[in-house]
Amino acid sequence: MTETSPQPERTKRIYAQGVPEKPFELRITLIDGLLLGVTLAFLAAAIIDAVSRFGGSNPYLVVRAVHFQLSRYGLIAAAVMGAAALILGVVRKDDVTPWFRRGAYIVFGSMLLQAILGFTLLLGFGVQPGQPEHIVYGLATTACLPFFIFVETTAKKRPAMGSYIWAFVLLLGVVVRAIGTGPAA
C-alpha cells in the first residue's frame, strides 16, 4: 500500500487584519475607488455629451444617448473584468479578492441603470427596440451578475473565481448580442 499525504485545504486569502472580508462589507479601496470613479465619470460624460448635443429640452434623446453609451461601457467593463477574473483565477490561482467583488457590484449597478433607462425608453416614451429580443437580452444583462455573485458568496469549500469567469464571459456575449438587436434600422 502506498501512503498518501493529506492534501492541504485551500483557504481563502486573508485580506484585513487576520479576518476574511465579509462578502457584502461596505468598504472602498483604491482600486474600488478608481473603478467607481471611472464609472461615474463615464456616466457624467455621457450625460453632459447628450445634453450638449441635443439640449435639455428633449429628454428622450438624452435618455437614448446615455442608454447607448452605457451599452458600450458594459462591453468594455465586461471585457476588463473577465480578463481580470482569468488572471486572478487561472494565472494566479487566487480566489475572489474584495476589490474584484466590489468591482462586480459596480458593473452590476451600471447594467441595472442601463436596464432602467431601456425600460424608460420602452414604457415612458413608447420606443420599441430594433428587434424584440433586445428586451430579453437587456433583462439578461441585469440577471447575469447577481446569479454568479450568489454562487460566489455561497461557495464555502470551493474556489469561486470560476463563477466570475463564466459571469463576465456570459455578460460579454449578452451585451454584444443586445447591442446587435438594439437600435432600430
The predicted structure's pLDDT at residue 70: 92
> Closest Cα to residue 129, out of 173, 178, 170, 172?
178
DSSP label at residue 33: H
Each domain of the chain, given as residue ranges in start order, spans 30-181
What is the predicted pLDDT for the residue at 26? Answer: 65
pLDDT at 158: 65
Count CB neighbours of 184 within 10 A. 9
Per-residue pLDDT of the chain (185 residues; tens, 9 = 90+): 555 555 545 444 544 433 455 655 666 777 778 888 999 999 999 999 999 988 777 899 999 999 999 999 989 999 999 999 999 888 888 888 878 888 888 889 999 999 999 999 999 999 988 888 999 988 988 888 888 888 888 877 766 788 889 899 999 999 999 888 887 65
Alpha-helical (H) ranges within 87-160 are 98-119, 133-153
CB 75 within 8 A of CB 141: no
d(CA 95, CA 160) in angstroms, rounded, equals 6
Nearest CA to 155 out of 137, 143, 167, 140 is that of: 167
* Amino acid 25: pLDDT: 63
pLDDT for the residue numbered 2: 56
Give the per-residue pLDDT at 155.
74
The reported pTM is: 0.78
Q: How far apart are CA 1 and CA 158, in angstroms?
A: 30
What 3-state class would DSSP assign to 22?
coil
